[in-house]
Structure 1
């Protein structure tokens, strides 16, 4: 029998590959990674670990490298115990799960509780990766619009849950890209209405204003509730790629079923444990970044712009008739921010004093130009992320 005929070039283009139909025309997710003087687009902590912590990380890596010929602890028990100790609230290691960033944690959640014939519901605008998690796991994606000030209306949420009967509900607090925190009364109402599971994504919670409660408080009362977090933001550990989730042990066991074997390397586990051992130092810049966030928010208001109230380390501001033109004009001046969220809005991360000064100087120049229109766009301001 002759071999099948292969069409196309020796090096096929993406369009020539037999992709799943729903992936045709899709672009890889990711904020621009450009080499510019000021990068305020991905909500990183701009303050690196101290030399002493860096030295301990190097020592931990060297120690782990001595046995890198062996597989790592498959369930990362020591790391999970450290995470439980960091979170408090009486949590134990078996109530924690860890993975390569909260992105992988959320993928595990939808692999375990989503899938064909199932639905995940969230509240738009929100994190633009959520629909991609849904797509990749063949889970139907449904959103409920937030209010004009980007909050979740509890009655609307309960009505949508009754209508769609979601298997997974994702609540982001503080929300990305708006920075809006969700009160626990609303979270309780969502949990009470949901027959499936609820995940409160608290990736930015360390930046929330003092007194803002965490959904961790609700875990004892709701065995189908999980709270996800990350070390990529406040912990100044974005390059370490460590996300985690707290929930009932049975919930965690469901994620263990779908995770790939040895998904967390020995090096990742070792380095994350060093960072957790130095949590106060790693989080030392959080107060500075809160101040930078609030200062830039007030400055933006003085420029006549709309600003969403934020409990995260970024500010969403607008509205612009052509936000891309404003984004590009800032980039031309060496300042990279994020073009994301509702139509007409832009997002800027809190940075160092020098970075924030560069941003405000550049934006003031852009706003002073005749074509820097601040008119509201014709599209719905609650339009979801692109």
Structure 2
């Protein structure tokens, strides 16, 4: 062996949910509806126009796209950000990586609350950051009583929190968001005495939240240690576009500009994303139907005697099973792919079309016999 592999990566497998050729795929929380024909045509025209100048580098600060994203957030959440407060990258995965490159790293700790998104630990690993977790309570809410003590002990540079949480679907209340931000005061890393922890709220599924459930964007004006991540992959029906974005104080955004690779968003990506945003009203009209589908899935799972985690996302975590792998396999044998993820005994299903949801229940009921 002559290649100098990193010892920390020895024996590890790359992240990835199964991609199998089955009739119904409900395992990666995609929007089951394709973009509208109008949106497809607009993207095609925008990409063709951008292609005429592919011999030139794109706008490395993607100023027009940031302005469009700020307009979208104002319409969706009611929070108006200056475009300089918006950042974007190739999926929210790259946004998170930029955050840890800028604010974590060797000698610093990243903290989250389990169960949560399995990529977070990989972001920490890839940026040579320490990783620390606290368990959630039995209802998957945060243990706010333990939080101030644990933050004072760990002194994390960055706290990663998904709301709604993946894989549970649990959303954070205003009380929880405020409590985390208050506990973060003065408990930043020891090499930056007196600093606050940077609190990152990952709202990849934010558009699916129920009426009255807040977006953390509402707290940005009063907390310069808060960052709120979004994506166009889920509610927007643009997972293949790979466009994630972030709202935060401009001073925080300026640090991300330091660690990003040059011209990290291609001219084609910028053009396609801007065209997609022009059709946000039509794309987001699907949200009500997907919320209804989610609630129907919860009710039917309860009718089968199963538990579900409270969910504000486009998926449902359900169980519990003595052998979840057996149920997963039996459902898969019937042509439906769901996800074996989360605490022991639980499975997760994404909301599909009405026909896909019905196929899931047919498969599940047979698998449980």
**1:260 aligned to 2:246?**
no
Q: Measure, in 2, the Cα distance between the counterparts of 1:54 and 1:363.
A: 35
Q: Measure, in 1, the Cα distance between the counterparts of 2:96 and 2:363.
A: 36
Alignment partner of 1:57 out of 43, 63, 74: 43
- 2:296 — aligned with what? 295
Which ranges of structure 1 fall in alignment gaps of 5 or more residues? Answer: 1-6, 8-15, 369-386
- 1:278 — aligned with what? 279
Q: Measure, in 2, the Cα distance between the counterparts of 1:157 and 1:367.
A: 39
Q: Measure, in 2, the Cα distance between the counterparts of 1:283 and 1:18.
A: 48
Alignment partner of 2:58 out of 43, 51, 72: 72
- 2:93 — aligned with what? 103
Q: Measure, in 2, the Cα distance between the counterparts of 1:17 and 1:25.
A: 15
CA radius of gyration, larger in: 1
1:17 Cα shift? 4.1
Q: Measure, in 1, the Cα distance between the counterparts of 2:37 and 2:72.
A: 22
**Cα shift readout 1:69-106 (whole Å, capped 9, x = no counterpart):** 11111011100010111111120110000000000000
CA contact (8 A) 2:86 2:246 kept: yes
TM-score (norm 2): 0.94
Which ranges of structure 2 fall in alignment gaps of 5 or more residues? Answer: 185-195
* Secondary structure of the corresponding residue to residue 132 of structure 2: strand
**Cα shift readout 1:211-241 (whole Å, capped 9, x = no counterpart):** 1111111101101110001000000000000
1:173 Cα shift? 0.4
**Cα shift readout 1:122-174 (whole Å, capped 9, x = no counterpart):** 11000000000000001111111101011112222222111111100111100
* Secondary structure of the corresponding residue to residue 171 of structure 1: strand
- 2:234 — aligned with what? 233
Q: Measure, in 2, the Cα distance between the counterparts of 1:61 and 1:259.
A: 23
- Give 4+ residue runs of structure 1 displaced > 4 Å after superposition: none
Q: Measure, in 1, the Cα distance between the counterparts of 2:146 and 2:117.
A: 20
Q: Measure, in 1, the Cα distance between the counterparts of 2:324 and 2:298.
A: 18
- 2:132 — aligned with what? 142
1:358 Cα shift? 0.3
- 2:311 — aligned with what? 310
**1:24 aligned to 2:10?**
yes
Count how many residue pairs are aligned between Structure 1 and Structure 2.
354
